[in-house]
């Protein structure tokens, strides 16, 4: 993850919608997930209608070739 993005996520704590592109390697997917978790984000699968779908674990990242995620800072997570 770029240091500028990391700084923005640490400072502003936004919700984050992003794409997990089909050409990302397993290591790149895991690294992105690990970076988000280290910053205190929970990661969910994002669907076309419902942004906060199922919560994803590191082992879920290989289930789909191409998908979107929605990440929420833990302190803003509404159960």
Q: Which of 68, 66, 60, 58 is nearest to 16 (CA)?
A: 68
Taking residue 45's Cβ as centre, other Cβ atoms within 10 Å add up to 19
Tens of pLDDT, residue by residue over 30-79, are 999 999 999 999 999 999 999 999 999 999 999 999 999 999 999 999 87
Average pLDDT over residues 5-14: 95
Can you name the residues that pair with 69 across neighbouring β-strands?
A: 18, 45
Whether pTM > 0.85 for this model: the answer is: yes
| C-alpha count within 13 angstroms, C-beta hemisphere, residue 46 | 16
**pLDDT in the model for residue 1:** 84
DSSP string, 15-38: -EEEEE-TT--HHHHHHHHHHHHH
Q: Which of 42, 46, 38 is nearest to 79 (CA)?
A: 42
């Amino acid at each position: 993850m770029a240091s500028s993005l990391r700084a923005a996520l640490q400072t502003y704590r936004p919700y984050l919608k992003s794409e997990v592109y089909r050409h990302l390697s397993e290591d790149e997917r895991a690294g992105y997930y690990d970076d988000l978790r280290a910053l205190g984000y929970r990661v969910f699968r994002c669907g076309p209608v419902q942004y906060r779908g199922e919560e994803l674990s590191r082992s879920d990242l290989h289930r789909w070739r191409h998908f979107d995620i929605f990440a929420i800072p833990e302190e803003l997570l509404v159960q």
